[in-house]
Amino acid sequence: MDQRQQSAEDELASFIASAAKLPLLDAAFELWRRRYRLDSIEGRPTAEEVRVNRTLTPEQSSAKYRWDRDHAHEGPMFGYVRRAHPRADDDAIRQAIITAVRFEDATFAHFSWDGDFWDCVVRAVAKASAQYPDFLETSYRDARNNVAYYYK
């Protein structure tokens, strides 16, 4: 294993270890927020998947994006959360992933640029947190940063 591969494996182990310190629901959200980096470390998407994705129409791309989110609990995310919480029940892991994805969706759905940017971010996450009240405050903080990053 070369140094770059080892660094990526160390980064993956660090993400898993960090999530392992959190309750299951918050761990699922933490790992879900890092999904693009986790996929990159694991070699996803493959060159073939990239080639196929580039041929998709905007409608097909949107449908694929939605399907990936709707089925996140059936894919690699399940393995990441399982590694962080090896004693958790499979159904509990699946439900935590589903809830984490829906919570993130809610933060984006409630975002409306109407006034000061940061106030809009805070308002969006506050509305989402009312729907999903079982996360730790640190997850709500991370959700605010996540929304701010994507809407910047």
Q: Report the number of distinct structural domains present in the chain.
A: 1
Residue 31 belongs to what domain range?
A: 3-151
75 pLDDT above the threshold of 90: yes
CA distances to 72, 87, 131, 138 from 25, rounded to whole Å, are: 14, 14, 14, 12
56 or 98, higher pLDDT: 98
Question: Please, which residues have CB within 8 angstroms of residue 122's CB and are 6 or more apart in sequence?
Answer: 144
Distance, in Å, from the CA atom of 24 to the CA atom of 95, rounded to the nearest integer, reads 10
pLDDT recorded at residue 1: 64
pLDDT tens-digit series, residues 88-112: 999 999 999 999 999 999 999 999 9
pLDDT tens-digit series, residues 4-53: 777 878 899 999 999 999 999 999 999 999 999 999 898 888 888 888 88
Question: Please, which residues have CB within 8 angstroms of residue 107's CB and are 6 or more apart in sequence?
Answer: 124, 125, 128, 143, 146, 147
pLDDT recorded at residue 2: 78
